[in-house]
Amino acid sequence: MTRIHRRALLGAATLPLLPIAARAQSDYPNRPVRIIVPFPPGQASDIITRLVADELSKRWPQRVVVENRAGGAGAPALEAGARAPADGYTLIAGTSGTLGVNPSVLPRVPYDAEKDFAAISNVAMVPLLVIAHPSVPQHTMQALAAEARARPGALDMASAGPATSQHMAAELLMLRANIRFNIVHYRGSGPAIADVIAGNVKLMTDSVASALPHIREGRVRAIALCSARRVPQLPDVPTIAETLVPGYQAAGWTGLVAPTGTPADIIRRINTDVVAILREPAIANRILGMGAVPDPMTPEDYAAFIRSEIATFREVARAANVRLEG
């Protein structure tokens, strides 16, 4: 057999492999897809992720199942996701805590938030805001900041716990506005806001989802939103960026990522379907009803957003010396 003939046969033998590889991705998904959620069932990111998973299951020929892996500030779940095969059949709910904050506050992070994951899209932004007990005489962020400057560290501000999005938003506010509150940490938003309602602590940075019922009942007063834009749930409440610190923004968020190396066409397929789901009025209204805001992005925009969050909270963690054990 001549050399040319052998090459011709080898070339012919490899030709069928290309359409097979293409079909392997074009018929995605051809088996169930799992989404790892780094929190227990019932938390906001779990509820929102399950909503998207259910809608994807209606659109796709295979089920999308949610796997909860709680504990360790979400680090074990993110590590499991990072180490999973990069084939599109394992996705991860990436959040403000696990991707934005953990890299700067955990002494040992078993994953690289920037290198180990391929961004798909953010799903929802969980807006935060500064609230006050009704007895607080300051009704605006400017007045509150003036009081904090006049009496540095004298005003107590409740926190849902060290390194939570609520805590980091307060630390970012103090850093950007050059003011100082005395942060009082609680084990969760529930006990913190209970003490604010009781008047034991007069201020708090909380999520709109947690605070909204109490605002509507007059038990606490909304001062200003931490988000970049006003939110539909509280259209008359201004943002901190409007009133005190231009460019300030802080929020909780939850989105979808995949292990790095997941084929680009699969990332695009998932992004297209997730964005379409989030733009459906019925789905958007359900997310708004949870106190969150739908936040679809392109993969490129979401990747840039994650990098920006990591940089912001690295600066905050260093300035405020925020650390978590673990």
> Domain containing 195 — which CATH number?
3.40.190.10
AA identity, residue 306 = I
* pLDDT score at 325: 78
pTM of the model: 0.88
* pLDDT score at 326: 55
Token pair, residue 183, equals 């942060």
> To which residue do tokens 């938390």 refer?
43
Task: Flag whether 103 is in a domain.
Answer: yes
Residue 320: Cβ within 10 Å count = 18
Query: Which of these, 217, 192, 218, lies nearest to 206 by C-alpha position?
Result: 192
- Of the three residues 225, 243, 261, the one that is the final residue of a domain is 243
Task: Flag whether 54 is in a domain.
Answer: yes
Measured distance CA(289)–CA(149) in Å, rounded: 36
Say whether both 106 and 169 belong to one domain.
no
Range of the domain at 143: 127-243
CB 250 within 8 A of CB 72: no
Task: Flag whether 25 is in a domain.
Answer: no
Query: Which of these, 51, 49, 102, lies nearest to 79 by C-alpha position?
Result: 102
- Give Cβ neighbours of residue 254 (< 8 Å, ≥ 6 apart): 44, 45, 48, 49, 93, 94, 95, 96, 122, 123, 124, 126
* pLDDT score at 113: 97
pLDDT in tens, the chain (326 residues): 444 343 333 344 444 444 444 444 578 999 999 999 999 998 889 999 999 999 999 999 999 999 999 999 999 999 999 999 999 999 999 999 999 999 999 999 999 999 999 999 999 999 999 999 999 999 999 999 999 999 999 999 999 999 999 999 999 999 999 999 999 999 999 999 999 999 999 999 999 999 999 999 999 999 999 999 999 999 999 999 999 999 999 999 999 999 999 999 999 999 999 999 999 999 999 999 999 999 999 999 999 999 999 999 999 999 999 998 75
Say whether both 60 and 104 belong to one domain.
yes
Half-sphere exposure of residue 172, counting CA atoms within 13 Å on the CB side? Answer: 30
Say whether both 166 and 76 belong to one domain.
no
Task: Flag whether 291 is in a domain.
Answer: yes
* pLDDT score at 23: 47
Task: Flag whether 22 is in a domain.
Answer: no
Measured distance CA(70)–CA(211) in Å, rounded: 24
CB 207 within 8 A of CB 48: no
Measured distance CA(282)–CA(100) in Å, rounded: 29
* pLDDT score at 279: 98
Say whether both 117 and 262 belong to one domain.
yes
Task: Flag whether 16 is in a domain.
Answer: no
Say whether both 98 and 138 belong to one domain.
no
- Give Cβ neighbours of residue 72 (< 8 Å, ≥ 6 apart): 326
- Give Cβ neighbours of residue 209 (< 8 Å, ≥ 6 apart): 44, 126, 290, 291, 292
Say whether both 212 and 291 belong to one domain.
no
AA identity, residue 275 = V
Task: Flag whether 8 is in a domain.
Answer: no
Token pair, residue 303, equals 């990747």
Q: How many domains does the chain have?
A: 2
